Structure 1
Amino acid sequence: MNKITNKFGTEKISKLLLKQAIPASIGILVMSLNMIVDTIFVGRWISVMAIAAITVVLPIAFLISSIGMGIGIGGSSIISRALGKKNTYKAYKVFGNQVSLTVVLSLSFVFIGTLYCSSILELFGANGNIIVPATEYFHVIIWGIPFLAFAMMGNPVTRAIGKPNYAMFTLILPAIANILLDIIFIKFMNLGMYGAGLATSISYAVSGLFILWFFLSKNTELKIIPKYFIIDFSILKEIVSLGGITIIRQGTISVLVIILNFTLFKYGGEISIAIYGIINRVMMFSLFPVLGVTQGFLPIAGYNYGANDSQRVKESIKTSIIFGTGIATFIFILIMLFPSQLVGIFTDDKELLNQTPNALIIAFLATPVITTQLIGSAYFQAAGKALPALLLTLLKQGFFLIPLVYVLPKFYGINGVWISFPIADILSTLITYFFLQREIRLNLKINN
Structure 2
Amino acid sequence: MSKNQSSAPIAENKMGTMPVGKLVFNMSLPMMISMLVQALYNIVDSIFVAKLSENALTAVSLAFPLQTLLIAVATGTGVGMNALLSKSLGERNFKKANKIADNAAFIYAISYIVFLILGFTIVKPFYASQIGNADVEIMNLGIDYLSTVMIFSFGLFTQIFFERLLTSTGRTIFSMTSQLCGAITNIILDPIMIFGLLGFPKMGVTGAAVATVIGQCVAGIVAGTCNHKYNHEVSLSFKGFRPDISLIGHIYAVGIPSIIMQSIGSIMTYSMNRILIEFSSTATAVFGVYFKLQSFFFMPVFGLNNGITPIIAYNYGAQQRKRMIRTIRISLTTAFCLTFIGFLCFEGIPQVLLRMFNASADMLKIGVPALRIIGIHYLIAWFCIIAGTVFQALGKAVFSMIVSIMRQLVVLIPAAYILSKIGGLHVVWWSFPIAEVISFIVSMAFLIRIYKTIISKIPEGKL
TM class by shorter-chain length?
Answer: over 0.9
Shift of 1:113: 2.6
Paired with 1:91 and 1:308, the residues of 2 have a C-alpha distance of 18
Show CA shifts across 1:320-341 (max 9, x none).
1122112222331232111111
Q: Which residue pairs with 1:362 in the alignment?
A: 373
Structure 1 residue 122 corresponds to structure 2 residue 128:
yes
* 8 A contact 1:263–1:406 mirrored in 2: yes
Matched, 1:272 2:283: yes
In the alignment, which residue of structure 2 is the partner of 1:69? Answer: 75
Residue 18 of structure 2: aligned partner: 11
Do residues 351 (structure 1) and 362 (structure 2) align?
Answer: yes
Residue in 1 that maps onto 2:406: 395
2:189 corresponds to 1:184: no
Q: Is there any run of 5+ residues in structure 1 with no aligned partner, and where?
A: none
Corresponding residue number in structure 2 for 1:133: 141
Aligned ranges 1:221-260 → 2 under 5 Å: 221-227=233-239, 229-260=241-272
Any residues of structure 2 matched to 1:19-418 within 5 Å, and which?
19-44=26-51, 46-123=52-129, 125=131, 128-129=134-135, 130-187=138-195, 188=197, 189-218=201-230, 220-227=232-239, 229-266=241-278, 268-418=279-429
Percent pairwise identity: 28
Tell whether 2:432 aligns with 1:421: yes
Amino acid at match of 2:156: L
Q: Give deviations 1:265-316, integer Å, cap 9, x for gaps.
A: 01x2111111011111110012233222222221111111111112221221
- 1:99 and 1:279 map into 2 onto residues whose CA distance is 34
Change (3 A) 1:440 1:247: same
Contact 1:113 1:120 in 2 (8 A): no
Distance (Å, rounded) in 2 between the aligned partners of 1:217 and 1:123: 47
Q: CA deviation at 1:11?
A: 1.8
CA gap 1:403/1:150 in 2 versus in 1, 3 angstroms: farther
> How far, CA to CA, are the matches of 1:101 and 1:161 in structure 2?
20
Label 1:156 to 1:145 Cα distance change in 2 as closer, same or farther (>3 A): same
Give 1:68 deviation, angstroms. 2.1
- Structure 1 residues 292 and 386, CA gap change in structure 2 (3 angstroms): closer
C-alpha separation between the residues in 2 aligned to 1:388 and 1:379?
10
Instruction: Describe the SS at the equivalent of 1:408.
Output: helix
Give per-residue Cα distances to partners, 1:208-259, cap 9 Å, x unaligned. Answer: 2223323333554423321384211110110111110222123211111211
Residues 326, 197 of structure 1: alpha-carbon distance in 2 compared, 3 angstrom cutoff:
closer
Give the SS at the match of 2:202: coil
* Amino acid in structure 1 at the alignment position of 2:262: Q
1:185 deviation in Å? 1.5
SS of equivalent to 1:225: coil
Contact 1:53 1:134 in 2 (8 A): yes
Secondary structure, counterpart of 2:376 in structure 1: coil
Supply the distance in 1 between the matched residues of 2:423 and 2:265 (Cα, whole angstroms). Answer: 23
Q: 104-113 vs 216-225, which deviates more?
A: 216-225
Task: Specify whether residues 395 and 209 from structure 1 end up closer, same or farther in structure 2 by C-alpha distance, changes over 3 A only.
Answer: farther
**Partners of 1:307 and 1:42 in 2: CA distance:** 49
Q: Distance in 1 between matches of 2:405 and 2:161?
A: 21
After the TM superposition, which of the residue ranges 282-291 and 298-307 deviates more from structure 2? 282-291
**More off after superposition, 33-42 vs 327-336:** 327-336
Distance 1:107 1:361 in 2: 41
Residue deviations 1:99-151, cap 9 Å, x none?
01111121122113312331122245576332121012123222321221222
* TM-score normalised by L of structure 1: 0.94
1:157 Cα deviation (Å)? 2.4
Residue 366 of structure 1 aligns to a residue whose secondary structure is helix
1:159–1:4 Cα change, 3 Å: farther
Change (3 A) 1:359 1:136: same
Does the C-alpha gap of structure 1 residues 148 and 439 become closer, same or farther in structure 2, counting only changes over 3 Å? same
Q: Is the 8 A contact 2:118 2:150 kept in 1?
A: no
Q: Residues 241 and 413 from structure 1, CA distance in 2 versus in 1: closer, same or farther, beyond 3 angstroms?
A: same
| Deviation of the 1:77 alpha carbon | 0.4
* Contact map agreement 1:99 1:229 (CA 8 A) in 2: no
Tell me how many residue pairs correspond in the alignment. Answer: 446
Q: In structure 2, what residue type is equivalent to 1:366?
A: H
Moved more, 399-408 or 118-127: 118-127
- TM-score after normalising by structure 2: 0.91
Worse-matched range after superposition: 221-230 or 300-309: 221-230
SS of aligned partner of 1:346: coil
Matching residue's letter, 1:21 = S
- Alpha-carbon distance between aligned partners in 1 of 2:140 and 2:290, rounded to the nearest angstrom: 23
- Cα distance between partner residues in 2 of 1:388 and 1:293: 19
| 1:321-378: CA deviation from partner (whole Å, max 9, x where unpaired) | 1221122223312321111111111214222223212101111102122121111111
Q: What secondary structure, in the 3-state scheme, does the structure 2 residue paired with 1:287 have? A: helix
Alignment partners' CA distance in 1, 2:203 and 2:360:
22
CA distance 1:127–1:182, shift in 2 (3 Å): farther
Separation of aligned partners in 1, 2:419 and 2:158: 39
Note if contact 2:20-2:326 (Cα within 8 Å) is conserved in structure 1.
Answer: yes
Look up the match of 2:5: none
Bigger mean CA offset, 35-44 vs 288-297: 288-297
